[in-house]
Amino acid sequence: MTEMSPPGWHTDPGYTGTGPVQERWWDGSQWTDQLRMPPAAVRRRRIRIGVGVTAGVVVLAAIAGGVLMLTDDSGRTKNTSSDAASPAPGLPGGQGGQGGPGGGGRSQAPDQQQPQQPPSEDGYVTDVMSGVSLPVPDGWKGQSATIGASVSTGTYTCPADTSQKCERGGVFAAPAQALKITARTAEAAAKADIAVNAKESYGGKAYGAISSHQELKSEPVTVAGQKGYLVRWKVVTKKGDDGYVQSLVLPSPHSAEMLVVVRSGFDISSKAPALSVMDEITKGIKAASGTGSGSGQTA
């Protein structure tokens, strides 16, 4: 941007290429700390990464009373009492306090609230809303965000559709409501999500669809100090590598009323990470520090 460019939302110049793309507010002279998900993010094709990593998750849930705090394209907040969250375009990067970054005379984004920035911790990425942090294995890429966090191995051309990018392995965390999961218990949510995870990871054009699957695990687990539930499938694809998919659901460590979904997916090939790495990531998930209540509410 140049000093002659008018204030507005633009693709974050600090975007690393992994995880959801956010927009940053340009005040006419410099970049501010204000972030939001772009309106198009909720409609764009998700990148296949062998894990169903749903890029552009943009729901900010105020769990109390079943009220969802959404925003329209102008960034103004609106309420809905729906139990299942619908993606909302133009959501700011968080539900922070009043005002924007300091500095006299700077133009601020209209009606925007200061976003809560993901905390930084070596070896981990954080989903602020969910209140969980995922470990980043050596050599992997990680992305923290206000809503959602992911770790992945890097892309290659999908076997059945060369116009898409796939990844050998990846793990993604997000609030269950943001993924439109309405189940009330961790077990029910995990059992409902695994088929969606498998389809988004290995179904459709990327791998020529799934021809069959085998359930490997369906059991209660304790992760990040929370009693959750885990389901793991082995899927057979029509073209390219087969894969492992896993849906783990647990209550948020910072808000017992919020369920958190952790989707994993690994190709089955000599180039893919071993299945034991999926277990290591699962065991390494922990409660995030410095992320507030995790409920999406402000004091």
Task: Tell me what pLDDT residue 164 has.
Answer: 87
Residue pLDDT, tens place only, 2-30: 556 788 888 878 766 555 667 788 887 88
The structure's pTM equals: 0.64
**Mean pLDDT calculated for residue range 214-220:** 98
Where is pLDDT greater, at 209 or 41?
209
Q: What percent of the chain has pLDDT over 70?
A: 65
Detail the DSSP E strand segments found in the chain: 8-11, 23-26, 31-36, 60-62, 67-71, 77-80, 124-127, 132-135, 141-143, 149-152, 155-157, 165-167, 169-175, 210-223, 226-237, 242-252, 255-268, 286-287
Alpha-carbon separation of residue 32 from 101, 147, 268 (angstroms) = 6, 20, 43
- pLDDT for position 10: 82
Task: Please choose, from the candidates 223, 68, 258, 246, the residue with its C-alpha nearest in 3D space to the C-alpha of residue 171.
Answer: 246
pLDDT of residue 58: 34
CB 248 within 8 A of CB 228: yes
pLDDT by residue (tens digit) across 44-97?
A: 333 344 444 333 333 333 222 222 223 333 333 333 333 322 222 222 222 222
Which of 156, 279, 270, 140 has its CA nearest to residue 207?
A: 156
pLDDT at 76: 34
> pLDDT band at residue 132, thresholds of 50, 70 and 90?
very high
